């Protein structure tokens, strides 16, 4: 098995990033949030994933 991410997955994430981030941040289903997070992790570059993680941590801190 290869660790290569298909270009179709990367393209889907690029085209739907805002929706995936919204689901990850505000979704009511843990399962759907996990799928959105997995797609973002697989489809984005490392710096972009780090940006999403930073945004989630900032939001978490704001709620505390």
Write down the pLDDT at residue 4: 87
CA distance 11 to 56: 23
Sign of the torsion formed by the C-alpha atoms of 56, 15, 29 and 34: negative
Cα 1 to chain centroid distance, Å, stands at 23
Write down the pLDDT at residue 47: 94
Whole-model pTM: value is 0.82
CA distance 1 to 64: 42
What is the tens place of the pLDDT at every residue in 40-64?
999 999 999 999 999 989 888 888 8
What is the tens place of the pLDDT at every residue in 4-52?
899 999 999 999 999 999 999 999 999 999 999 999 999 999 999 999 9
Write down the pLDDT at residue 51: 93
CA distance 10 to 17: 10
């Amino acid at each position: 098995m290869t660790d290569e991410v298909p270009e179709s997955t990367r393209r889907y994430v690029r085209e739907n990033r805002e929706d995936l981030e919204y689901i990850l941040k505000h979704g009511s289903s843990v399962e759907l949030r996990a799928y959105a997070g997995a797609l973002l992790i697989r489809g984005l570059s490392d710096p972009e994933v780090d940006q999403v993680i930073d945004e989630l941590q900032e939001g978490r801190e704001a709620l505390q």
